[in-house]
Amino acid sequence: MENLIKVGEIITKISGVTKKNEKELIIRENKDNPLFQKVLNHLYNPHIKTNIAKKKLTKKVKETEVQKTFNNVEEYMEFLTKCTGKDEQIAIIQRYILQNEEVEWILKALALKNLKIGATESTINKAFGYEFIPEFEVMLAKPFIEIKTVKGVKKVFDHWKKHIGKRVIVTKKLDGYRATAFVNEDGSVNIYSREGFLYEGCVEIEAAMSIFPKGHAYDGEILATNKEGLSSKDLYKKTQSIMKTEGVKRGLIFNVFDLIPIKEFKEGLFKVECEKRKGALSKIVNKQNSPFIKYVEPLYVGEFKKEVVDELNEEAQINKEEGVMCQVADSPYECKRVYNILKVKSFRSADVKCIGIYEGKSEETAGKLGGVVLDFKGHSINVGSGFRPTERIEYWKDPDKIVDRIVEIKYFEEFTDENGHLDLRFASFKTVRIDKTEPSYN
């Protein structure tokens, strides 16, 4: 384990500096270390999955009769990539970690893929001098209206004003699993999440996509079939249940809204106008006429009118849908978050009692407030976003400033998780309400 101990020292050194150029230098100095390369690739490569969560790794499982051992950490990492999360596999991993206490923290991080060194994929690739870590980015939308804190003051940014005078396309915002399907030149199909993780087992979608034009990436949202007429949150719950199923996943529909050649996708830019892309995509989907692939039809195409977008968003609310997307018709496909496409979502607000706090776990929030525990209609809800850096320090040092007080939060909707617990989707902290002593729900 001497080689892994050395890698641990390198990782600790990288984590110990704060400047990006310092981290880059340390990585560059050690880039020829074979094991460092493999560990870094395992941790950061979005295509590598282990299917192990912290709860699963710490689960008490029966010792397996198969006394499997690993000759080196490379064999251990290979085993992790083939892990399906079964108890016998977890037992083998737990035993190996216990047998190597001096590098326990790295072995756990490799299993969970949760080790952060404060460096992005771009920084790592710059240090190596080539695309060592494959970067995977899809086009993401900015909010229609954004509330940000600037120098301690909350400000409202009306991003929708950037669309004034432009031709736009408004579509329904779907609440499912964002996915990009690559139809390769050999006809094979790979479906990736927005982070670049491979979705496996979506056999019906894969078979349907295999006859689509090759060499293209199809961007969309995976949702379960909805013969029952489920609301947005219930349909998401059904989709989640199917997507978490091990092995073959059936009963899913791929709702596509954009396409881009794979070559241009990897380069991060496709200059063909959005309206032309959608027109071509519509013809492809209609020609194939598959029950598993659906084109997301526009709700409105024309000059931007805020009242039209607001009205369509209100209709989405009435139908218990997530909202709408507003996209500039002549905009390119860019693999990053852009103002050319805006998401219009309806958030609710509530004033609820804070009953506790918890410490942050990331490098930025360790030793500070990670979030608050709220009493939401008799249920304990954790909310960790929306806090300014100064607030995280202030409330952690003096919990009395927030605990047992009424705080205002915003959230998209209530939902019941897979364990039957009430939770809030996209919940974030807004402020402590010094003018209120009782909870209220809007």
Per-residue pLDDT tens digits for 368-413: 999 999 999 889 999 999 898 999 999 999 998 999 889 989 887 7
**Token representation of residue 421:** 């617990």
Confidence (pLDDT) at 152: 67
Q: Could you tell me the pLDDT band of residue 210, with boundaries at 50, 70 and 90?
A: very high
Query: Could you give the angle at which helices 20-29 and 121-128 cross, rounded to 10 degrees?
Result: 50
Q: What is the pLDDT of residue 29?
A: 96
Cα–Cα distance, 404 to 372 (Å, whole number): 11
* Banded pLDDT at 200 (limits 50, 70, 90): confident
Return all residues near 321 (Cβ < 8 A) that are at least 6 apart: 172, 173, 175, 231, 232
Q: Which residue has the higher pLDDT, 69 or 253?
A: 253
> What is the model's pLDDT at position 62?
79
Structure tokens at 203: 């056999």
Q: Is the pLDDT of residue 348 over 80?
A: no
Question: Six-digit token pair at 377?
Answer: 């209609």
Report how far apart, in Å, the C-alpha atoms of 424 and of each of 36, 165, 342, 382, 427 are.
Answer: 40, 36, 22, 9, 6
Residue 75 has pLDDT above 90, yes or no: yes
Structure confidence at residue 48 (pLDDT): 82
Say whether pLDDT at 66 is over 70: no
Cβ–Cβ under 8 Å, residues 164 and 304: yes
Q: What do you get for the CA distance between the two ends of the chain, in Å? A: 57
Round to whole Å and give the CA distance between 61 and 312: 51
pLDDT band at 150 (very low <50, low <70, confident <90, very high): confident
- The residues that bridge with 328 in the sheet, in sequence order, are 168
What value does the mean pLDDT take over residues 332-356?
90
Residue 230 to residues 32, 108, 271, 403, Cα–Cα distance (Å): 54, 40, 37, 38
* 122 token code pair: 């771009």
Helix/strand/coil percentages in the chain, nearest 5 = 35, 30, 35
pLDDT, mean over the chain:
90
- Going by C-alpha positions, the residue among 223, 253, 252, 248 that lies closest to residue 236 is 223
pLDDT digits (tens, 9 = 90+) for 214-245: 999 999 999 999 999 988 878 988 998 899 88
pLDDT tens sequence across 8-32: 999 999 999 989 999 999 999 999 9
Q: Residue 3 and residue 155: Cα distance in Å, rounded? A: 51
Residue 118 pLDDT exceeds 90: no
Gyration radius (Cα) of the chain, Å: 24
What's the confidence (pLDDT) of residue 77? 94
Residue 431 has pLDDT above 70, yes or no: yes
Which of 158-166's residues contact partners 24+ apart within 8 Å by CB, and which partners? Answer: 159/339, 159/342, 160/304, 160/306, 160/309, 160/326, 160/342, 162/339, 163/304, 163/326, 163/328, 163/342, 164/304, 165/303, 165/304, 166/303, 166/304, 166/328, 166/329, 166/330
Identify the pLDDT of residue 333.
98
Range in 143-152, 214-223, 323-332 the model is least confident about: 143-152
Tell me the β-bridge partners of 425: 413
User: Which DSSP string do the residues of 263-301 spell out, in sequence order?
Assistant: HHHHHTEE-S-HHHHHHHHHHHHHHH--TTEEE--EEEE
Q: What is the largest CA-CA distance in the chain?
A: 70
pLDDT-derived band at 303 (thresholds 50, 70, 90) equals very high
* pLDDT reading at 257 higher than 70: yes
Nearest C-alpha neighbor of 137 from the set 254, 263, 266, 49:
266
* Whether the predicted pLDDT of 435 surpasses 70: no
- CA-based nearest residue to 234, from 442, 433, 417: 417
φ and ψ at 181, to 5 degrees? -100, 120
**pLDDT of amino acid 65:** 65
